A and B are shown apart, each in its own frame.
Chain A
Amino acid sequence: QVQLVESGGGLVKPGGSLRLSCAASGFILSDYYMGWIRQGPGKGLEWLSYISRGGTTPYYADSVKGRFTISRDNTKNSLFLQMNSLRVEDTAVYYCAREVGAMFVDYWGQGALVTVSS
Chain B
Amino acid sequence: QLVLTQSPSASASLGASVKLTCSLSSGHSNYAIAWHQQQAEKGPRYLMKLNSDGSHSRGDGIPDRFSGSSSGAERYLTISSLQSEDEADYYCQAWNTGIRVFGGGTKLTVL
Contact = CB atoms under 8 A, between A and B. Distances in A.
Interface stretch (A8-16, A68-76, A104-112): A104-112
B66 to A, nearest CB: 15
Contacts of A105: 34, 36, 44, 46, 93
Interface residues of A, number: 21
A44 B106 CA distance: 10
Interface residues of B, number: 23
A104 to B, nearest CB: 4
Given A45-B44, A105-B34, A59 B99 contact: yes
B-side binding surface: helix, strand, loop or mixed?
Answer: strand
A105 B43 CA distance: 13
**Interface residues of chain A: helix, strand, loop or mixed (majority):** strand
Contacts, number: 57
B91 A45 contact: yes
A108 B100 contact: no
Contact of A59 (B36, B98, B102): B98
Interface of B: 32-34, 36, 38, 43-46, 49, 59, 89, 91, 93, 95, 98-105
Interface of A: 35, 37, 44-47, 50, 59, 61, 93, 95, 100, 103-111
